[in-house]
Amino acid sequence: MKLGSVPPAGSPRTKAYLRAYVRIAGARPIFAKGIPLEDGYLLLDRGVMKALLLAGHVAFMAVAEVAP
């Protein structure tokens, strides 16, 4: 894949990444900055997320982050 290109939203790679993200996140939300883990965040593949966003399969929601 060429640098800066977007994989097809229906490609096996994109589907596999989305399935993995959902399994890892479980009931937790998936944020634009990644999936919350005990020691930080699992960063999401930008190309995969861009493909899913452009295809309308995922969307960002505004969420207020409260400081501890």
Locate the domains of the chain by residue range.
Answer: 7-68
pLDDT higher than 60, residue 58: yes
Phi and psi, residue 59, nearest 5°: -145, 155
Q: What is the pTM of this model?
A: 0.78
What is the model's pLDDT at position 25? Answer: 94
For the segment 41-65, the average pLDDT, to the nearest whole number, is 88
Query: Nearest CA to 48 among 26, 27, 30, 36?
Result: 30
**Mean pLDDT value across the chain:** 87
Q: Is residue 46's pLDDT more than 70?
A: yes
